[in-house]
Amino acid sequence: MKLSVLIPASGSGARFGANVPKQFALLGGRHILHQTILAFAEMEIVDEIIVAVPPGFSQTVADYGVAKLARIVEGGASRLDTVSRALGVVAHDTDYVFIHDGVRPFITEAFVNDVLNAVREHGAAIACAPVTDTIKRAGASNIIEETCDRSSLWQAQTPQGFTYKIIMNAYSQPGLNAIPATDDSSLVERLGVPVHIVPNTRVNMKITTPEDLLIAEAIWGSFKGALLECEK
């Protein structure tokens, strides 16, 4: 069994408002991206890691010196382009491909195993957190049109895992960018492949804004401490 992890991290981080992309902000003394890569590198079940970065940052990531970091590629104009470039260098003997946001450092081996077991059984599975807030749908004038039933709503996260064949088929479809898609599951769903949900907590957060980073810094110490306890 071979598992390849793709980490798209080529965004400019415009919403973060810093002079460097958000994935290169510091968390626990390292770049957020570095912490995310290390989390996967320390997992026995992961065989190779492929990272996509903005132009000019390849050497920065290479200097992390992570042994399982097999390839660093330059990202594309969109997330789909970026993932497509990373898929192009995945080892052909790979059985499963996981795609994980570079700014989600709070990922554990136990949960990755849960997703992998679901992918083995179903072919496609993604991390999701249940929606706990009341969700309103509004029209163009910001007037509420509907209060949604949140019992069937989930917040998509990563990792998103697939068999090598399924994800390669999804990214080989013509007109890939014709219909907007903000995650990989959307492309697989268009193939008619059922994608299964693996429930996760909101701790598996995506660091997008300065406020997110403040929250991440607040929980980082306790998160790492919990991991160390699990390893004893």
Percentage of the chain lying above the pLDDT 90 cut: 84
Domain assignments of the chain as residue spans, ordered by start: 3-128+155-231
Q: Closest Cα to residue 61, out of 25, 33, 91? A: 33
According to the model, what pLDDT value does residue 101 have?
97
User: Distance (Å, rounded) from C-alpha 158 to C-alpha 84?
Assistant: 17
Q: What is the pLDDT of residue 177?
A: 67
Crossing angle of helices 164-171 and 79-87, in 10° steps, is: 130
H or E element in which residue 32 lies: helix 32-41
- pLDDT for 53 equals 97
- pLDDT, tens digit, for every residue of 57-111? 999 999 999 999 999 999 998 899 999 999 999 999 999 999 999 999 999 999 9
What pTM does this model have?
Answer: 0.93
Q: What is the CATH number of domain 3-128+155-231?
A: 3.90.550.10
> What does the mean pLDDT of the chain come to?
92
Model pLDDT, residue 15: 59
